[in-house]
Amino acid sequence: MLDLGAGTGKLTLGLGALGLDVTAVEPDPEMRAELERAMPSVTSLAGRAERIPLPDAAVDAVFVGQAFHWFDVPVAMTEIGRVLRPGGVCVPMWNYEDESVPWIAEFTALGRDGARRPTSTEDVREVTHPAFEPFESGRFRHGQRRTADSLLETIATYSKVIVSAPGESAALLGRLRRFLAENPATANGEFDLPLVTTALRARRRP
C-alpha cells in the first residue's frame, strides 16, 4: 500500500494498524521526519504525486488523506496509474466537520468566512483518466474527542490558514476561539467533534 502525501503519518499509522505493508511518500522533510520518528518501521520516501519514487505496478492501493487538492491531478493520476497493479485502487479521502450539526455549521461558516473548500468530492468524481474506471464514493460519520486548544491547533495547519498573512490567520483563530468559548457544546473542556469522512475509489483498468 502507498500513502501518498503522507504528511506526519496519521493515515499511515491507521493503515499500519490494520496489518498492511505501507510505504509513505511525502515531499516535506519536516513532516517526513515526524512520520519517521513516530513509525520507524515504515518505509518513508521523499517524493511527490507527480513523481512517485516507486517502480511500475509496485502497489495494490494508493491512499491519499486530505492531500489531493495539492496535486497536479492529470499528472498525478498518470503516476498513480503507473505504480498501481492492474485492478488496484486509488482512494482519496477527506475528513470534514459534520455540518448537519447546527453548531458545526455555524463554526465552519465562521472559519471559511465565505471561502470555498480547496476541493470538493464533486470535483474529484468528475476527474477522468484513461487508466482508471470512474470514481465511486462513500460517506462515514464518526467523531473525535477534542478540546478547544487541540481543535485550533489542527485548524492552524489548514492550507488556508498557512497561506494567509499572519494577521489574518491570528484574527481567524481568535474568532474561532471566542466561538468555542461561548458555545455550550464546547465551552467546558472536552467535547465530541462530529466528523464525516468521504472516501472515493477508482479502480485501475487492466
Run of H or E residues at 196: strand 191-203
In this structure, the number of other CB atoms found within 10 A of the CB of residue 159 comes to: 12
Q: How confident is the model at residue 194, as a pLDDT?
A: 97
Residue 16, in any domain of the structure: no
CB 63 within 8 A of CB 93: yes
The whole-model pTM stands at 0.84
Q: How confident is the model at residue 114, as a pLDDT?
A: 44
Number of domains making up the chain: 1
Residue 99, in any domain of the structure: yes
The CATH number linked to 171 is: 3.40.50.150
Q: How confident is the model at residue 6, as a pLDDT?
A: 97
Residue 189, in any domain of the structure: yes
> Consecutive sets of 10 residues in the chain, 206 residues long: mean pLDDT of each?
96 94 96 95 97 98 92 96 98 93 94 56 76 94 96 86 88 95 96 95 96
CB 205 within 8 A of CB 136: no
Strand partners, 65: 93
Residue 34, in any domain of the structure: no
CA distances from 27 to 52, 66, 96, 138, 152 (A): 10, 15, 24, 28, 25
What strands, in cross-sheet order, belong to the sheet with 59-65?
Answer: 43-45, 23-25, 2-4, 59-65, 84-97, 191-203, 136-146
Residue 155 sits in which domain range? 48-203
Residue 176, in any domain of the structure: yes
Q: How confident is the model at residue 7, as a pLDDT?
A: 93
Run of H or E residues at 62: strand 59-65
Q: Cα angle vertex 65, ends 63, 70, to 5°?
A: 105
Residue 53, in any domain of the structure: yes
